[in-house]
A and B are shown apart, each in its own frame.
Chain A
Amino acid sequence: MDTIYYLFQNMLPVAISLLLVALGGMFSEIGGIINIALEGIMLFGAFIAALFVYSVQGTDMSPQTILLLGMVVAAISGLIYSLLLSFAAVTMKADQVITGTSLNMLIPAAILLFAKMFFGSDGITTNVNFYIREVHILGKIPVIGKLFFQNTYLTVMIGLVFLVIAVIIFYRTKFGLRLRACGEHPHAADSVGINVHKMRYAGASISGILAGIGGFFYSVGITDGNVNGHTGVAGFGFLALAVMIFGQWKPMRIFFGALFFAFLRTLAYSVSLIPFLSNLGIDQTYYKMLPYFATMIVLAFTSKKSRAPKAEGIPYDKSQR
């Protein structure tokens, strides 16, 4: 039983990071912009937020306050970085995949350069402890307390709040309806007076904010405050794209997709705790391939039926009918 609690508690921070980034990808794509730059945006958000944490650590600010402020910093930096994509893809009508790829390649290199110049290493490591042993009262609830409110991070709660907000925006608001129209049939949106360019900027910007936060949460919950230019975010941006496709561009399904991939990853890192698996004698490295391998299999089987926003990836051109 303890193993299950352990797996669950470790899975959540991973799942939340994936969830936020995948939701970001979703908001961008339902507006019509393919955001392949999620990986780069994550890393950028994580790095700037880490710089912020680094600069305030040691002061008497409480860790959870630092986390919240760091999140805001990550969100803003993610937003700024995503504007490069929006500008290229919407205003300049550039190819979105190529733009995204170049944005992805820029960041690790920039981090290496910057970190070597100022820290003499590959990246930076912060040493604020964001870990929460047990939440007051809530942690005492049987089962649920153990699953959600012990050995956890504030990021989990925040992530779930974001999920709820995303669902509401997606299904219940004017903005969500208009954004989806822009990714599906921009000419229809235009013909009823919706500014397609503006909506696409909005969609990509939300994705920048969420991916920036997701990147920061990754460094908080998974790498213990280390952000470097070598391992980056270990392909989580791309994994998030897979989660998004797996979730068919719908928030709740994306949530389950994120849980699934996070479970595989946590399992892979916890093999030694599970007697059955460790007795098999398979090298741990193979288990670590699981989430990535699962991505390939899942995509191979789901992509045939997948229903991507119809107009995604196509710059909007009024004159084409």
Chain B
Amino acid sequence: MDNYIIEMLGITKMFPGIIANDNITLQLKKGEIHALLGENGAGKSTLMSVLFGLYQPEYGEIRKNGEVVNINNPNDANDLGIGMVHQHFKLVEIFTVLENIILGVEPNKAGFLQKSEARKKVVELSEKYGLSVDPDAYVEEITVGMQQRAEILKMLYRDNEILIFDEPTAVLTPQEIREILQIMKGFAKEGKSILFITHKLNEIMEVADRCTVLRKGKYIGTVDIEDTTKEELSKMMVGRDISFKVKKEKSKPKEIVLSVENLTVPSKIHKNNAVKNVSFNIKAGEIVCLAGIDGNGQTELVNALTGLEKASSGTIRLKERDITRDNIRKRSASGMSHIPEDRHKHGLVLEYKLEENLVLQRYWQKEFQKGGFIKFDNVRKYANRLIKEYDIRSGQGPVTIVRSMSGGNQQKAIIAREIDKEHELLIAVQPTRGLDVGAIEYVHNQLIKTRDAGKAVFLVSLELEEVLNVSDRILVIYEGEIVGELDPKETTPEELGLYMSGAKRNTGKEANDGK
């Protein structure tokens, strides 16, 4: 007797050069939270897009309550009671929350919208499930968490019974994550069936009943969460053992590589300075981590260091040389490498090929150009070497358009480019954001390798675990000031939290003792 509400059997979906889903089976029971786990690019989102009718699979069938169904577009999915919260929200920014919720299923009389009717239903739903939103607020003016609640209401408004959440926690703050997980549990209790796509093991252990694991487009297995462990799941996902503890030797700091004195950076958002009179230095052979809650001046500080923004006062020295007024190319050439916070905006040219992206920092060097003409042979050779050395996976190798690559591999491409170039200092801003455990381990190892090669590493991170595990020295930033310098071996997450929230500070002397 099977009591599956949805079954996806033998699904195969191909894209040019890549098999995104290779004979995958997924069975969802009524009233359960079923996690779908896999690394970036494992085919989770593709599989869900198939279920939601955005893609048509080459092979395989979908059954609802045992009967074969055809899902050719989102309307069909909706008719079957399937709803989805997409990873990148599908909300029209200039519309109100209400308009977004009713879009596509507008209550109307002869084509004229009947908004008050819809508003009543939305308010009822949001009260019933504790999803607080203002139906008349414009989407572009509300927080990410509220946008997500709007997306969830969109499904509830359509009376969907099967809810797909595509990496719902990736963009949320810790509190919001707790809330959404509770909400999901509530839905399951009510008899709704939930598919939860994620690569965060902690969340799966917390809420899921069962978990299906994909790896590189293939079905690996389905397990009951009660009978499994985090380690086992990660092994299924990555195909090998993953250490959650970062292995590294004690650091041996040498000479000062970067020294920042009294740096002040104006804010673009408000009238105050985003970075206020900050001084610190980083030595060769150590990883210094800048910890803090998002929006406390990290971005502006990094932008001033890398040249993306101008500092209003203060000096930045790289290897004794004043670079405060140098342009970006000059900073890069004098030994600064940068893994930017926003890899799509500042890290890659998404429409370019992989090989072109890999030489972005050095296409002007003699090796790669002559008289303004690019030496494509050398570029190809160089790209092939980096792809091999740094294990960058893509559909078509060096000629893959970067936009089509998975997030983890895009990040690998940036890391390869920045680490392979001559550098003394590596600035890595949230380098593991949005990556899965395998890729995170990879990034951490690369950072430590860079440190062990005698370079200075400046890591900006919002993740406490990362801060404590990877760094050799922690600087805490709060409202644009460095409020503490801590030793990761002696501090605790709780203490770090106090500094990050501004409740505690030890600036001045200790911070300057490092000199």
Contact = CB atoms under 8 A, between A and B. Distances in A.
A281 interface: no
Nearest to A309: B94
A188 B103 CA distance: 9
Interface in A254-279: none
Interface in B61-99: 73-75, 78, 84, 86, 88, 90-95, 99
A191 B92 contact: no
Contacts of B73: 193
A188 B95 CA distance: 12
Contact of B106 (A174, A189, A190, A318): A174
A177 B106 contact: yes
B503 interface: no
Interface in A178-200: 178, 180-181, 184-185, 187-194
B90 A185 contact: yes
Given A191-B54, A193-B104, A177 B99 contact: yes
Contact of B93 (A174, A177, A310, A320): A310
A172 interface: yes
A306 to B, nearest CB: 13
A181 B95 contact: yes
A246 to B, nearest CB: 18
B103 A178 contact: yes
A244 to B, nearest CB: 16
Nearest to B107: A174
A175 interface: yes
B74 A191 contact: yes
A318 B49 CA distance: 11
Given A174-B111, A174-B113, A318-B54, A188 B90 contact: yes
Contacts of B403: 320
A245 B495 CA distance: 54
Given A173-B112, A175-B111, A321-B88, A185 B93 contact: yes
B54 A181 contact: no
Contacts of B108: 173-174
How many A residues touch the partner, as a band?
Answer: 20 to 34
Nearest to A307: B94
Contacts of B74: 190-193
Contacts of A310: 93
Binding site of A, secondary structure by majority: helix, strand, loop or mixed? Answer: helix
Contacts of A307: 94
Chain A CB within 10 A, most for which of B94, B99, B102:
B94
B103 A177 contact: yes
Interface string A291-313: 00000000000000001001000
Contacts of A318: 54
A321 B89 CA distance: 11
A103 B120 CA distance: 48
Nearest to A169: B111
A94 B159 CA distance: 39
A180 B92 CA distance: 9
B111 A192 contact: no
B105 interface: yes
Given A172-B112, A175-B111, A318-B54, A192 B104 contact: yes
Interface string B47-67: 000001010000000000000
Interface in B259-309: none
Contacts of B111: 173-175
- Max chain B C-beta neighbours (<10 A), residue from A192, A307, A310, A319: A192
Interface in B164-209: none
A307 B102 CA distance: 24
A184 B88 CA distance: 15
A193 B78 contact: yes
Contacts of B15: 319
Given A189-B92, A318-B54, 5 more contacts: A172-B113, A177-B95, A180-B92, A180-B95, A192-B90
6 contacts: A173-B108, A177-B99, A185-B93, A188-B100, A193-B78, A194-B104
